[in-house]
């Protein structure tokens, strides 16, 4: 059991309580900026909104006496120097970019709405809220004059959701910290992340399937998919498809078929319903498509019928990290060619090249050309690492209950860093006040309990002090 200095804990609790309203106000300043990572604009490698959010974070930190260095709008770093002559460095990592807002919100996505103890808005949990938690941890140490022996550096990235080019740039150009905390997971400690593979499949399509469209980012399971079919009577289409669950029919110049599912992060597909599969399944079983259109839709149905790679020949699993996940998440038809993007998270003991080989073999058998756009090896810190034990005990102390260290399918900055673990501020058994398909990261009405974030601040303060003594 972790034993903390009672006087220190009392100071932390009192300070956090007195700054609770300021925390929410500061978070709203960051949440209101629609910082969706996109294409390069002028001097902004990930688009102006990501530049704007970094500027706002720089402005916010300066108001508390900190300086964030802007590294060409790839990322920002906030460094607090320790007093030791040969100081080591603790790194903390958060990202300021977010996934697209999406549809179906009950609350304003670009506002930090406080309701029944929950903050609601895009990025409150993933990952703007945790980024403010890290800032507030350093703010506490500064205001109470607590000097550290070693350096602490907070990293604020701008393209975590779209390929992590920011952290790659950081790793190539900066001396990396000695131990790294990625504040983009659940407590207690995430000590391993599955490998990541991204693929684009494409093939020419003919027939009466005019369009098939769903998704906007590869790491989100789409909740809506649409197809347009020519040479089909609306009444016939409605008779064939109208009674199917999750399917609706709209009459336009041609027949539009709309499928509704349940969106979730591609790395955590439990409970999700992929709208691409719902639509492909409905169309494949109908008599509405002809020729190559039918063959292509059947192939989509096969490859997306579950989220664990069975239809793609890659249903791997290990005891360290569980099942492989495989999600077809973005699809479109353009200039007579259908393209579909896949997000694959494979277990830590599995060879990524073997995943590519088997996936490509099945896809080619179904008529697709395959382009592997990304292959990122698993991240793994041995469970007997002494930092993991200490961080786990601190978490248990603050939360008042025990959580087991874990591995996950999600991809964070940790996979690009040496000696890095995921460390909160979420908790695995957190309440969700919304219905299925709402409330989680990457979903409409993304939310997190205020208390979870405030406990995160407390945990980070204590963790920084303990790590400082251990380095």
DSSP structure string for 213-242? EE-SSTTB--SEEEEEESS--HHHHHHHHT
Tell me the CATH architecture of domain 195-376. Answer: 2-Layer Sandwich (3.30)
Q: Mean pLDDT throughout 154-183? A: 96
Could you tell me which of 384, 408, 418, 385 has the C-alpha nearest to residue 193? Answer: 408
The pLDDT assigned to 34 comes to 98
**E-strand stretches of 51-194:** 68-71, 75-80, 89-95, 113-115, 118-120, 151-157, 179-182, 185-186, 190-193
pLDDT, one tens digit per residue, over 41-86 is 999 999 999 999 999 999 999 999 999 999 999 999 999 999 999 9
End-to-end C-alpha distance for the chain, whole angstroms = 21
% of the chain at pLDDT higher than 90: 92
The angle that helices 450-470 and 128-143 make with each other, rounded to 10 degrees, is 60
Question: In angstroms, rounded to a whole number, what is the distance separating the alpha carbons of residues 167 and 160?
Answer: 8
Assess whether pLDDT exceeds 80 at residue 119: yes
Q: What is the DSSP string of 118-159?
A: EEESTTTTTTHHHHHHHHHHHHHHHHTT---SSEEEEEEES-
Q: Which residues contact 279 (CB under 8 A, 6 or more apart)?
A: 212, 214, 225, 226, 227, 247, 257, 258, 259
How are beta strands 425-426 and 113-115 bridged, if at all?
A: unpaired
The pLDDT assigned to 253 comes to 87
Assess whether pLDDT exceeds 80 at residue 102: yes
CA distances to 103, 236, 460, 462 from 384, rounded to whole Å, are 44, 63, 21, 21
The answer to whether 411 touches 95, Cβ cutoff 8 Å, is no
Question: In angstroms, rounded to a whole number, what is the distance separating the alpha carbons of residues 169 and 74?
Answer: 8
The pLDDT assigned to 272 comes to 94
Assess whether pLDDT exceeds 80 at residue 28: yes
Assess whether pLDDT exceeds 80 at residue 1: no
pLDDT band at 320 (very low <50, low <70, confident <90, very high): confident
pLDDT band at 252 (very low <50, low <70, confident <90, very high): confident
Could you tell me which of 341, 344, 395 has the C-alpha nearest to residue 371? Answer: 341
Q: Give the start-to-end residue ranges of the domains of the chain.
A: 6-194+379-470, 195-376
Assess whether pLDDT exceeds 90 at residue 451: yes
Two tokens, residue 143: 């205001």
3-class secondary-structure state, position 262: strand
Mean pLDDT, the chain, rounded, equals 96
Identify which has the larger pLDDT, 154 or 102. Answer: 154
The pLDDT assigned to 410 comes to 82
Residue with the two structure tokens 């399918």: 409
Question: In angstroms, rounded to a whole number, what is the distance separating the alpha carbons of residues 430 and 118?
Answer: 11
pLDDT band at 359 (very low <50, low <70, confident <90, very high): very high
pLDDT, one tens digit per residue, over 398-417 is 999 999 999 998 889 999 99
pLDDT band at 2 (very low <50, low <70, confident <90, very high): confident
Two tokens, residue 5: 């200095």
Residue with the two structure tokens 């016939």: 236
Specify the pTM: 0.80
Question: In angstroms, rounded to a whole number, what is the distance separating the alpha carbons of residues 187 and 391?
Answer: 9
Question: In angstroms, rounded to a whole number, what is the distance separating the alpha carbons of residues 218 and 332?
Answer: 13
**What is the gyration radius of the CA atoms in the chain, in angstroms?**
23
- Least confident range from 2-6, 32-36, 195-199, 271-275: namely 2-6
Question: In angstroms, rounded to a whole number, what is the distance separating the alpha carbons of residues 41 and 153?
Answer: 28
Tell me the CATH architecture of domain 6-194+379-470. Answer: 3-Layer(aba) Sandwich (3.40)
């Amino acid at each position: 059991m972790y034993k903390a200095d009672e006087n220190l804990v009392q100071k932390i609790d009192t300070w956090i309580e007195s700054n609770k309203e300021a925390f929410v106000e500061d978070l709203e300043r960051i949440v209101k900026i629609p910082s969706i990572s996109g294409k390069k604009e002028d001097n902004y490698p990930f688009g102006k909104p990501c530049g704007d959010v970094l500027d706002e974070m720089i402005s916010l930190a300066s108001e508390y006496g900190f300086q964030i260095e802007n590294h060409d709008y790839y990322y920002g770093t906030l460094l607090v120097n320790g007093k030791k002559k040969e100081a080591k460095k603790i790194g903390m990592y958060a990202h300021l970019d977010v996934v697209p807002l999406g549809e179906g919100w009950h609350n304003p996505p670009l506002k930090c709405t406080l309701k029944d103890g929950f903050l609601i808005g895009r990025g409150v949990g993933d990952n703007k809220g945790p980024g403010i938690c890290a800032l507030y941890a350093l703010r506490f140490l500064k205001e109470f004059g607590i000097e550290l022996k070693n350096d602490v550096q907070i990293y604020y990235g701008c393209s975590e959701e779209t390929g992590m080019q920011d952290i790659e740039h950081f790793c190539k150009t900066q001396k990396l910290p000695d131990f790294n905390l990625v504040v983009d997971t659940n407590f207690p400690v995430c000590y391993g992340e599955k490998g990541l593979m991204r693929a684009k499949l494409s093939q020419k399509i003919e027939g009466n399937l005019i369009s098939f469209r769903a998704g906007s980012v590869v790491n989100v399971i789409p909740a809506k998919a649409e197809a347009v079919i020519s040479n089909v009577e609306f009444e016939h289409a409605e008779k064939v498809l109208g009674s199917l669950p999750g399917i609706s029919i709209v009459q336009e110049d041609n027949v539009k078929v709309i499928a509704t599912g349940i969106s979730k992060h591609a790395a955590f597909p439990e409970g999700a319903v992929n709208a691409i599969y719902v639509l492909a399944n409905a169309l494949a079983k109908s008599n509405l498509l002809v020729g190559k259109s039918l063959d292509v839709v059947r192939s989509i149905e096969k490859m997306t019928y579950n989220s664990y790679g069975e239809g793609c020949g890659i249903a791997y699993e290990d005891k360290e990290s569980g099942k492989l996940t495989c999600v077809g998440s973005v699809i479109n038809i353009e200039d007579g060619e259908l393209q579909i993007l896949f997000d694959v998270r494979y277990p830590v003991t599995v060879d990524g090249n073997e995943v590519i080989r088997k996936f490509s073999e099945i896809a080619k058998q179904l008529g697709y050309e395959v382009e592997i756009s990304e292959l990122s090896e698993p991240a793994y810190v041995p469970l007997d690492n002494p930092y993991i034990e200490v961080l786990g005990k601190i978490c248990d102390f603050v939360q008042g209950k025990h959580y087991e260290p874990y591995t996950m399918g999600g991809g964070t900055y940790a996979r690009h860093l040496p000696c890095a673990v995921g460390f909160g501020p979420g908790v695995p058994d957190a309440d969700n006040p919304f219905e299925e398909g709402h409330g989680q990261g990457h979903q409409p009405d993304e939310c997190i309990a205020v208390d979870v974030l405030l406990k995160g601040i407390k945990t980070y303060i204590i963790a920084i002090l303990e790590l400082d003594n251990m380095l």
